[in-house]
Amino acid sequence: MVSNCVASASIGCLFCCQGCNAEKLRNDFTFLPPAPSYAVEGCVEGGRAGKLQYVLEALRNFSFYQQAAEHAEVHFVRTGRGERIPIVWVRNSSSPASGSPGNRSSGQQPIVLLHCHGNATDIGMMMAAYLEMTRQLGCEVVGVEYSGYGASSGKPSASNTLADAEAAYNFLLSSGIAPERIVVYGQSVGSGPAMALAARRPMGGCVLHSPMLSGIRVIDPQPDSCCRPSCVFCCFDFFRNDQHIKSVNCPVFVMHGRMDDVIPLYHGLRLSDAAPKNCRWPGYFPKDAGHNDIIERNSAAYFGEVCAFLRNVQERVHGGSVNCNLPARSIGKPAQMEMSEVGKGPNGAARPYVEPTVGPNDGRYENIRRAGAPSGA
């Protein structure tokens, strides 16, 4: 309890230092937009699509990122809060893997993953991951950029990210994508806008990758004791995934590394348990993975788990069976999966890129949980 009290007092001091501006404290502590990794050329809002051009030399010289850009188109959309954000649509021109849920040989339309990234990256840095998803899963990926990130206007905030995800979803509908073909995918802080969207709009499914129970609960030192920050400052809490998940009407798949020191494992476990029983897909909780390396630790297991989930979504869309290279999963206890060699792809070959860092690595959340001040505060 003492650590909870000290952590709450620390937050109170930071609140006073920010002029008692809860929104400013929340945004400064949560969002870490990097220097833009890309620019957009040839795009007209509401008109023709543009192309993504990397401004980071490391990405320009990386062939897999170049391939990703070649398979992508960028559209600018206007959010409900008046900001102008780019969304990148990565399509897969190659044949999807045998049994993947987007197998076009069967005449089925592919699933569209609406991806909400973490707080320390942008859609340019995520392009290689998006391309690999399309190739391994046979789906299409639409990456949402946040206000204040990359080529977007505005400033990052919890309210803006919710509007950003909503605008991207509306764009998909206006492009002829049926709601049941959309699977929203929220990674790290992206679990906030993804979960909120799934709670209020119809869709085929929701994937939560290293999610949080809520914005403030990330910094609770002792989550089940009194005087914890999320209790003391509950009126300022945001990204209430713990509440929103109770309102979903689509399948929810949660994955969380057991060694996560940014957002502790119990966040993922409790969210998985909180999903309505008829929407709860068995979670994936790899034992050696942390916050930023679930895919890298064992990409074969990761893609296998996501494939099984998307296959279930596809079956709901088309009302028939879709062959997959995995046995059917039943609702039940989370699977225990052993880890294979780091850096290997599903076929055993070296993976073509390194998994991006999507969450903060400056220790800000861990420091508060240890009742200290966040780095850089």
Going by C-alpha positions, the residue among 268, 250, 323, 259 that lies closest to residue 294 is: 259
Please state whether 148 falls in left (phi above 0), alpha (psi between -120 and 50) or beta.
left
Distance CA(291)–CA(265), nearest Å, equals 9
Q: 72 to each of 51, 108, 262, 307, how far by Cα in Å?
A: 7, 21, 31, 22
291 is a catalytic site residue: yes
Q: Which of 188, 191, 210, 299 is catalytic?
A: 188
Task: Find where tokens 């999320």 sit.
Answer: 230
Distance CA(231)–CA(322), nearest Å, equals 46
SS3 165: helix
Distance CA(153)–CA(82), nearest Å, equals 9
Q: Which of 100, 260, 267, 299 is catalytic?
A: 260
Structure tokens at 8: 């709450």
Length of the chain: 377
28 is a catalytic site residue: no
256 is a catalytic site residue: no
Q: Which helix (H) or strand (E) holds 72?
A: strand 72-78
Q: Which of 8, 237, 291, 299 is catalytic?
A: 291
Distance CA(240)–CA(196), nearest Å, equals 8
Structure tokens at 248: 């979903």
SS3 184: strand
In degrees rounded to 5, what are phi and psi of residue 184?
-85, 135
Distance CA(349)–CA(185), nearest Å, equals 26
Give 273-327 as a DSSP string.
Answer: HHS-GGGBPPPB--TT--SS-HHHH-HHHHHHHHHHHHHHHHHHHHSS----SSP
Which residues are annotated as catalytic?
A: 188, 260, 291
